[in-house]
Homo-oligomer: A and B are copies of this chain.
Amino acid sequence: MYEGAIQDLIDELGRLPGVGPKSAQRIAFHVLSADPADVNRLATTLQRVKEAVRFCAVCFNVAESDRCRVCRDPRRTDEVLCVVEEPKDVVAVERTGEFRGRYHVLGGAINPLEGIGPDQIRVRELLSRLGSGDVRELILATDPNTEGEATATYLALLVKPMGITVTRLASGLPVGGDLEYADEITLGRAFEGRRAV
């Protein structure tokens, strides 16, 4: 509907996830009236991400060098390894400030309906890391949904015979939540996992 570049930009922005036609138009007009330096910075950052960001050769977290920040940190213990699905889960766990071990990013979860089996995620790489013998505990922090649970169950079966303690993040009521509004599965898990006070 618009002439030339502005319509091209609306089209390009509309291809991004979660950006509908109205948002794309709003962002395009924002760009049109924004400081050229700001727009330039966004454009070069977009290109820089494709050039600079790689995946850590050890844990497959996002990294700017061969190894990510967590893998480079000498103060962290190699004895505890936390398995997550995606780099954003690393950020979520880091934000708690509770974990001082290392990570392993699978790059997804087992989902037979979409053709994702153990070979499509980084299970082989995980087993080869466990082979070094440093790891005493493997924390399965995949998502608490069907795919995440299936992945955790699969990994537990695979790793337990290696003599490594395998744990799973607790399921239960979210802190600050309302018991009344908890779904029945979550509430059921909270009962199952109840602890003496």
Contact = CB atoms under 8 A, between A and B. Distances in A.
A197 interface: no
B52 A38 contact: no
A118 B53 CA distance: 49
A12 interface: yes
Contacts of A15: 38
A60 to B, nearest CB: 13
Interface string A1-25: 1111110110011011111000101
Interface string A49-72: 111110000000011100011000
Interface of A is mostly: helix
Interface residues of A, number: 52
A31 to B, nearest CB: 6
Contact of A64 (B4, B17, B68, B86): B4
A6 to B, nearest CB: 5
Contacts of A88: 25, 29
A120 to B, nearest CB: 14
* Count of chain copies: 2
A18 B12 contact: no
Contacts of A38: 15
B9 A62 contact: no
4 closest A-B pairs by beta carbon, nearest first, are A4-B64, A43-B43, A5-B52, A43-B46
13 contacts: A1-B91, A3-B63, A5-B51, A5-B53, A8-B45, A12-B45, A16-B27, A17-B30, A18-B26, A29-B86, A32-B53, A43-B43, A43-B46
